[in-house]
Amino acid sequence: MKRLKALAATAASVPITLFGLVLVTFLIGRVMPIDPVLAIVGDRAPADVVAAVRLELGLDEPLYVQFWIYLGKLAIGDLGRSVMTSHTVWEDIKRFFPATMELATVAILFASCIGVPLGVLAAVRQGTKVDHTIRVVCLAGHSLPIFVLALLSLLVFYATLHWAPGPGRQDIMFDEQVPAVTNFLTVDALLARDWDVLRDAVAHLIQPAAVLAYFAMAFIARMTRAFMLDALAGEYVITARAKGLSAARVIWKHAFGNIAVRLITIMALTYAGLLEGAVVTETVFSWPGLGQYLTVSLLNADMNAVLGATLVVGVTYLAFNMLADLLYKLLDPRVS
Amino acid sequence: MSATSPTGAGADPSLRDPSLRDPSWRDWLLSDTPASRSQAAWGARYRLWCDFRANTLAMGGLIVIVLMVSAALIAPLVVPYDPAMQDLTNRLARPSALHWFGTDELGRDLFSRILMGGRVTLGMVVAVVVLVAPLGLAVGCIAGYYGGVADRVLMRVTDVFLAFPRLILALAFVAAIKPGITSAIFAIVLTAWPPYARLARAETLSLRNTDFIAAVRLTGASSARIVLRHIVPLCLGSLVVRVTLDMSSIILTAASLGFLGMGAQPPSPEWGAMIATARRFILDQWWVPTIPGIAIFLVSLAFNLLGDGLRDVLDPKQR
Amino acid sequence: MHVDIQNLCIAFPGATGISHAVRNVSLSIGNEKLGIVGESGSGKSLTARSILRLLPRSARLSADRLAFDGIDVLKASESAMRGIRGKRAGLILQDPKYSLNPVMTAGAQIAEAWRMHRKGGAREARDGAMDLLDQVRINDPARVFAAYPHELSGGMGQRVMIAMMLAPDPELLIADEPTSALDATVQAEILRLLDDLVSRRGMALILISHDLPLVSHFCDRVAVMYAGRIVEQLGAGELARARHPYTTGLLECLPALSHPRPRLAVMKRDPEWLK
């Protein structure tokens, strides 16, 4: 019963936060110095056209009415039209967002598979050289600007060693060779059973995903280490050892068993955080995802696109946060 | 269990590590029977310092930060060249005795630009911290101490700001005002305060119902006095740790904004903006974008190491 | 079963010097009930845990001899130690709130101990665990078996802990302040249960406590520790003959209904005791 109540509390907080999210995005859009009317009609339009468009956009209304109109449009998925691509922002997002998710998903898989064992190892060997090395590797991940790592990685693995293909999501010769079903290129290639495209897509994916994964890995390993140290200091670990259990069983079943749920929530949060890293990574690797869409729109002052992308990222981020919270409350026996 | 008294060690010289036998100020500090409150307080500080000093990595971080701050302070006096001086005949030069880090695409001396860039970065970090820490502390303490509606409203607002990834909210915010250092600072503040508020609230909640706060209340202290004189000082410890650990994240956000063209604008020698203008040379003159990258990395690593060390010492429970 | 400790020292290196937690302790334990009494930080827990080599990682352990039934604990391999831990000697900790694994059911934890040392399938382990829960006088074994530790009361939790440590049928039980975290009424029950189980199974017991009269009432022999040393060893009936000023000081401090006094004595510590 308590578990249900906890879940309900999480669910109830979503609409309020979501509302705040929309409000903040709306306000950012309204304080901007760029005149949205001029952005549409161009700065040489006659005054009466400008006035007409202004009226049409509802810009002469008070702010709360404008917000109401904005909400109404949001409800039907209308985020306005991007000046830059001349598509609707919603269409653009549907095209670019899967590329970002594909990148982030591969990155979080890499990061978890490496980060969790490293964190456990560091905690078990606390204070030794192994621990110090892992700690420094992780701290470096927290300290290195992601664009620097991305640039260096291009320099080393693409330009010098020729191990990785260059920037972009696929080779130009494969462009639009498989039908876009999910917009996840690897999945689409699998669906079309086109192995050349798949190989090419994976090859292009590995480098940016690895760069992104390093940062996620650093965070996951660090949190795993901290949680594990906490768990290993628990009295129940002494109990487990006093029972004569093997070191592996004490570490993995008793100590790790206690932090597994917390780690899953950390992974969900990191997954969400990768959306942020993706902005910079995509810019460096010319990855046609939401991050690149956002930065290009920013530089072109394409405000509808900026706000739409920001809102989508915000909502996704919120969704992952809620997911983390729900998982924690569902899986941990201590909650009930 | 480790509480065995150093008195014992003092009384029995044979049990004491001979290398640790030192001058008398050390004995005074480590005395088990301090004669005054200040001696006890300094002794406690000295013990913390001893713990901290034992952490080689954290000491390394501290040294780098001290060096960086002093370099930034005296930079205008020591830079070998004017960081804005162009020399188009000597573009993209390799590092040499004349130009230690080489020159950039306009022939400007990179070493001078890195040093001056340290001032920009440091200035932004200080400005952000000065704004963000009191803001977060105020929101958190008010929410935690007064509870009720104030708490619910403030925490809801905090949640909304936490619901955006930091960099993306900052980007949208800067875009809405006008790219530049000032807006970058405000954008980072806007995105950085919520964790501080959460932290201060959690600390306040744990303090609010303690007996000593009840005792202060019984003496007739006003709630403002309780918060300012008794709760805020106790939140400062964890706040300092959090600030130190957050420094690198602030530096990285500032650099990312610069890199994306939304922070400091060229020709300002801000490290992120320097990388952005030099990134097209990564394949041929790799050192031009790499050197500012190393600068960001070193400073941010130093803050991380220092923060880690501080946390281990001040807050051993949450390693 | 015979535990032999000679000149045991345990130290912790710190930034401001080395702290010596246990100094030159010698003890010999046969098939008996030994009480170790002392204040917090006197080194009693560390001394007992060193028999199982379950010390914090930073601890520095040394001794002329530290043997469990002829096995040299200082030199034994980790797998040899695992043959002692649980199987031949169990350890009961102070507070079941912390000493039981919070994300495993009580039953799973007992069954795990059972399976670790007696070969058998999951079914037998389950039956074994239920039987053990019955032996520690839990009325509703099925409910407790399926419960998580936070769903159990302190007394229940401590019974689960005892059941878990009894599962492999050890020869020695180390109880480290097993009742300090419990309510006074439950304390007596748990002690009676321990006493009963130990006597019935013919196990040796090391009972660690800070309660001198309780221990002397319950054990055959008492060792009094102060600042990492054993200052006095006494037969249980010989408390009146205690000679060390620390022991007599402790006894003086106790209020007694039978001998009311206007003012209780206060312990006066003498730096000489540390020599």
Q: What pLDDT was estimated at residue C144? A: 93
Using an 8 Å CB-CB cutoff, list chain B residues near C45: 1
- Mean pLDDT value across residues B285-303: 90
- What is the average pLDDT value for chain C, to the nearest integer? 88
Task: Let me know: does A186 contact A202? Beta carbons within 8 Å.
Answer: yes
Residue of A126, A214, A224, A276 to mutate when probing chain B, most B C-beta within 10 A: A276
Count of domains in chain B?
A: 1
Given a cut of 80, whether residue B17 has pLDDT beyond it is no
Q: Compute chain C's Rg from CA coordinates.
A: 19
Using CB atoms, pick whichever of B1, B3, B11 lies closest to residue C274. Answer: B11
Given a cut of 90, whether residue A166 has pLDDT beyond it is no
Model confidence band, residue C15 (pLDDT cutoffs 50, 70, 90): low
Dump pLDDT digits (tens) for C82-113. Answer: 989 988 999 999 999 999 999 999 999 999 99
Q: Do B301 and A139 touch (CB under 8 A)?
A: yes
Q: What pLDDT was estimated at residue C130? A: 93
Cα A220 from Cα B277, distance rounded (Å): 32
Given a cut of 70, whether residue B18 has pLDDT beyond it is no
Give DSSP secondary structure letters for C147-193. Answer: --GGGS-HHHHHHHHHHHHHTT--SEEEEESTTTTS-HHHHHHHHHH
Would you report the helix, strand and coil content of chain A in percent, each value rounded to 5? Answer: 75, 0, 20
**Nearest residue on chain B to A299, judged by CA atoms?**
B261
Closest C-alpha among B134, B149, B127, B153 to residue B200: B134
Tokens of A179: 């039908």
- Strand C204-209 versus strand C33-37 pairing type: parallel
Residues 187-246 of B with CB under 8 A from A: none
Residue A263 at interface with chain C, using a CB cutoff of 8 Å: no
Given a cut of 70, whether residue C70 has pLDDT beyond it is yes
Q: What pLDDT was estimated at residue C265? A: 78
Given a cut of 90, whether residue C165 has pLDDT beyond it is yes
Residue B20 at interface with chain C, using a CB cutoff of 8 Å: yes
Q: Which residues pair with C25 in a beta bridge?
A: C8
Ramachandran region of residue C62, left (φ > 0), alpha (ψ -120 to 50) or beta?
Answer: beta
Q: Which three-class secondary structure state does DSSP give residue B221?
A: coil
**Nearest residue on chain B to C22, judged by CA atoms?**
B4
- Greater confidence (C257 vs B70) lies with B70
Q: What pLDDT was estimated at residue C207? A: 93
Q: Do C164 and A239 touch (CB under 8 A)?
A: yes
- Strand C3-14 versus strand C60-62 pairing type: antiparallel
Let me know if residue B26 belongs to a domain. Answer: no
Task: Let me know: does B258 contact B273? Beta carbons within 8 Å.
Answer: yes
Count of CB atoms situated within 10 Å of the CB of C119: 7
Enumerate helices (H) and strands (E) in chain B, giving the number of each.
13, 0
Give first-to-last CA distance, chain B, whole Å.
20
Task: Let me know: does C242 contact C232? Beta carbons within 8 Å.
Answer: yes
- Mean pLDDT value across residues A128-149: 90
The set of residues, in sequence order, having a beta carbon less than 8 Å from that of A221 and lying 6+ positions away, is A114, A115, A116, A118, A119, A122, A134, A137, A138
**Nearest residue on chain A to B289, judged by CA atoms?**
A148
Count of CB atoms situated within 10 Å of the CB of B206: 11
Model confidence band, residue B318 (pLDDT cutoffs 50, 70, 90): very low
DSSP H or E stretch at residue C35: strand C33-37
Using an 8 Å CB-CB cutoff, list chain C residues near B9: 17-20
Q: What pLDDT was estimated at residue A301? A: 77
The region of weakest confidence among A157-171, C27-41, C94-108 is: A157-171
Using CB atoms, pick whichever of B3, B8, B53 lies closest to residue C274. Answer: B8
Model confidence band, residue C164 (pLDDT cutoffs 50, 70, 90): very high
Using an 8 Å CB-CB cutoff, list chain C residues near B15: 18, 20
The region of weakest confidence among A53-67, B205-219, C105-119 is: A53-67
Q: Do A244 and C116 touch (CB under 8 A)?
A: yes
Cα A178 from Cα A196, distance rounded (Å): 10
Q: Where along chain A do its domains lie?
A: 2-75, 89-331
Distance in Å, alpha carbon of B42 to nearest chain C alpha carbon: 14
Residue B19 at interface with chain C, using a CB cutoff of 8 Å: no
Task: Let me know: does A282 contact A276? Beta carbons within 8 Å.
Answer: no
DSSP summary character for residue B280: G
Dump pLDDT digits (tens) for B263-288. Answer: 888 788 889 888 888 888 888 888 88
Task: Let me know: does B188 contact B170? Beta carbons within 8 Å.
Answer: yes
Model confidence band, residue C203 (pLDDT cutoffs 50, 70, 90): very high
- What is the average pLDDT value for chain A, to the nearest integer? 86
Which pTM value belongs to this model? 0.85
Q: What pLDDT was estimated at residue A336? A: 56
- Mean pLDDT value across residues A100-109: 93
Task: Let me know: does C194 contact C205? Beta carbons within 8 Å.
Answer: yes
Residue A305 at interface with chain B, using a CB cutoff of 8 Å: no
Given a cut of 60, whether residue B8 has pLDDT beyond it is no
Give DSSP secondary structure letters for C57-100. Answer: TT-EEE-SEEEETTEETTT--HHHHHHHBTTTEEEE-S-HHHHS
Q: Do A254 and C95 touch (CB under 8 A)?
A: no
- H helical segments located in A125-184: 129-143, 146-153
Cα B114 from Cα B177, distance rounded (Å): 28
Residue B59 at interface with chain A, using a CB cutoff of 8 Å: no
Q: Do A314 and B262 touch (CB under 8 A)?
A: no
Residue of C103, C104, C105, C148 to mutate when probing chain A, most A C-beta within 10 A: C103
Q: Do A146 and B256 touch (CB under 8 A)?
A: yes
- Mean pLDDT value across residues A245-254: 92
Q: Do C15 and B47 touch (CB under 8 A)?
A: yes
**Nearest residue on chain C to B2, judged by CA atoms?**
C21
Distance in Å, alpha carbon of C61 to nearest chain B alpha carbon: 13
Residues 116-135 of A with CB under 8 A from C: 126-127
- The count of CB pairs under 8 A between chains A and B is 156
Residue found under tokens 């300090």:
C180
Task: Let me know: does C29 contact C35? Beta carbons within 8 Å.
Answer: no
Q: Give me the half-sphere count of Cα atoms (radius 13 Å) on the Cβ side of residue C137.
A: 10
- Mean pLDDT value across residues A49-69: 77
Cα B103 from Cα C256, distance rounded (Å): 88
Q: CATH code at B180?
A: 1.10.3720.10
- What is the average pLDDT value for chain B, to the nearest integer? 82
CATH 1.10.3720.10 fits A89-331, yes or no: yes
Q: Where along chain C do its domains lie?
A: 3-88+170-274
Chains interfacing with B (3 or more CB pairs < 8 Å): A, C
* Domain boundaries C3-88+170-274, corresponding CATH code: 3.40.50.300
Q: Do B15 and C20 touch (CB under 8 A)?
A: yes
Closest C-alpha among B223, B218, B211 to residue B144: B223
- Mean pLDDT value across residues C64-79: 91
- Greater confidence (B250 vs A321) lies with B250
Task: Let me know: does B142 contact B150? Beta carbons within 8 Å.
Answer: yes
Using CB atoms, pick whichever of C94, C103, C113 lies closest to residue A257. Answer: C103
Q: What pLDDT was estimated at residue C52? A: 93
Q: Do A235 and C95 touch (CB under 8 A)?
A: yes
Given a cut of 60, whether residue B11 has pLDDT beyond it is no
φ and ψ of A122, to 5 deg: -60, -40
Dump pLDDT digits (tens) for B84-129. Answer: 777 778 777 788 877 778 888 887 888 888 888 889 988 999 999 9
Q: Give me the half-sphere count of Cα atoms (radius 13 Å) on the Cβ side of residue B27.
A: 9
Cβ burial B146-172 (10 Å sphere, 16+ → b, else e)? eeeeebeebbebbbbbbbbbbbbbbbb
DSSP H or E stretch at residue A239: helix A235-242
Given a cut of 90, whether residue B75 has pLDDT beyond it is no
Q: Which three-class secondary structure state does DSSP give residue A262?
A: helix
Count of CB atoms situated within 10 Å of the CB of C8: 25
Given a cut of 80, whether residue A60 has pLDDT beyond it is no
Q: What pLDDT was estimated at residue A16? A: 84
Given a cut of 90, whether residue C159 has pLDDT beyond it is yes
Cα C220 from Cα C225, distance rounded (Å): 17
Q: Which three-class secondary structure state does DSSP give residue C27?
A: strand
Model confidence band, residue A73 (pLDDT cutoffs 50, 70, 90): confident
DSSP H or E stretch at residue C19: strand C17-29
Residues 203-232 of C with CB under 8 A from B: 227-228
Q: Do A236 and C98 touch (CB under 8 A)?
A: yes
- Mean pLDDT value across residues B177-189: 88
Count of CB atoms situated within 10 Å of the CB of A5: 11
Model confidence band, residue A33 (pLDDT cutoffs 50, 70, 90): low
Residue of A25, A131, A151, A271 to mutate when probing chain B, most B C-beta within 10 A: A151
DSSP summary character for residue B19: G
Q: What pLDDT was estimated at residue A36? A: 64
- Strand C65-68 versus strand C229-235 pairing type: unpaired
Q: Do C16 and B1 touch (CB under 8 A)?
A: no
Cα C272 from Cα B192, distance rounded (Å): 58
Closest C-alpha among A113, A111, A132, A136 to residue A123: A132
Q: Do A151 and B282 touch (CB under 8 A)?
A: yes
Let me know if residue B266 belongs to a domain. Answer: yes
Given a cut of 50, whether residue A144 has pLDDT beyond it is yes
φ and ψ of A187, to 5 deg: -65, -45
**Residues A35, A36, A41, A42, CA torsion sign:** positive
- Mean pLDDT value across residues A218-246: 92
Q: Which three-class secondary structure state does DSSP give residue A58?
A: coil
Give DSSP secondary structure letters for B143-196. Answer: HHHH-HHHHHHHHHHHHHHHTS-HHHHHHHHHHHS-SSHHHHHHHHHHHHHHHH
The region of weakest confidence among A153-157, B66-70, C6-10, C255-259 is: C255-259
Cα A66 from Cα A58, distance rounded (Å): 6
Residues 42-81 of B with CB under 8 A from C: 47, 50-51, 53-54
Using CB atoms, pick whichever of C15, C21, C274 lies closest to residue B1. Answer: C21
**Nearest residue on chain C to A260, judged by CA atoms?**
C103
Cα A93 from Cα A115, distance rounded (Å): 31
Given a cut of 70, whether residue A79 has pLDDT beyond it is yes
Chains interfacing with C (3 or more CB pairs < 8 Å): A, B
φ and ψ of C68, to 5 deg: -110, 110
Given a cut of 50, whether residue B12 has pLDDT beyond it is no
Q: Do A244 and C148 touch (CB under 8 A)?
A: no
Tokens of C240: 């009146």
Q: What pLDDT was estimated at residue B23? A: 61
- Mean pLDDT value across residues C250-275: 77
Model confidence band, residue A253 (pLDDT cutoffs 50, 70, 90): very high
Using CB atoms, pick whichever of B11, B16, B54 lies closest to residue C15. Answer: B54
Using CB atoms, pick whichever of C15, C19, C45 lies closest to residue B4. Answer: C19
Distance in Å, alpha carbon of B308 to nearest chain C alpha carbon: 17
Using an 8 Å CB-CB cutoff, list chain C residues near A240: 101
Cα separation values, C244 from C212, C231, C247, Å? 14, 7, 5
Cα separation values, A294 from A73, A237, A280, B167, B289, Å? 21, 48, 10, 12, 23
- Highest averaged pLDDT of the listed ranges A139-148, A160-169, B226-235: A139-148
Task: Let me know: does C83 contact A243? Beta carbons within 8 Å.
Answer: no
Residue C18 at interface with chain B, using a CB cutoff of 8 Å: yes
Model confidence band, residue A250 (pLDDT cutoffs 50, 70, 90): very high
- Mean pLDDT value across residues B250-272: 88
Q: Do C117 and A244 touch (CB under 8 A)?
A: yes
Q: What pLDDT was estimated at residue B7? A: 39
**Nearest residue on chain B to A306, judged by CA atoms?**
B172
